[in-house]
A and B are shown apart, each in its own frame.
Chain A
């Protein structure tokens, strides 16, 4: 089975701290995604990447950046964490390139609390 691993399940940070959320997939998927999950809002796409060093903004990129230096790893960066970034962050990957039939494989999530 494809596995998507998010290194931190629970994090507590202070306002203004720089936060790194790491995601690794082990099946050579081209596409990787970062979503944010909030009650009543579902999942909202922050950034995605379809190749190494390639990235595109999703629907809510403000306050976030990403890095993809290797195919298997996709990092989400909060340059200066704020309380409104308290949320569950989900990483996902998918195999194919430019097709809408992708099935996403999700990690277990990283729950971030910003105090």
Chain B
């Protein structure tokens, strides 16, 4: 069965500092991987996704993530945090073979990012 673990339920950085949100997954096959963001009082929206090809994926708002198969990781980074980045971030994995409950995503527990002025 697939699973996702996000290390750290809360991360606090200063404005302008590097953002690093950690995500590790467990999957028997190379998965598809996603990062979603949830701003206060809103639903989730896609930041970026990895399916195949280049392992460094760029998303919206300056975020990027790198798929590292050997480490079973998909950490999210941004070189310089902005106040507007304060939100909850979710890592998610899906099964690309369609063999298990097709198309559904398994989400991590979420990481709340706080950005201090």
Contacts and interface: CB of A to CB of B under 8 A. Distances in A.
B67 interface: no
Given A40-B9, A42-B108, A42-B110, A100 B43 contact: no
Contacts of B34: 103
B44 A99 contact: no
B96, B101, B103 pick with most chain A CB within 10 angstroms: B103
Interface in B46-96: 46, 49, 51, 90, 94-96
Contacts of B25: none
A42 B49 contact: no
Interface stretch (A12-20, A63-71, A74-82, A105-113): A105-113
A17 B48 CA distance: 40
Interface of B: 4, 6, 9, 31-32, 34, 36, 41-46, 49, 51, 90, 94-98, 101-110
Interface of A: 4, 31, 33, 35, 40-45, 48, 50, 56, 58, 90, 92, 94, 96-104, 106-109
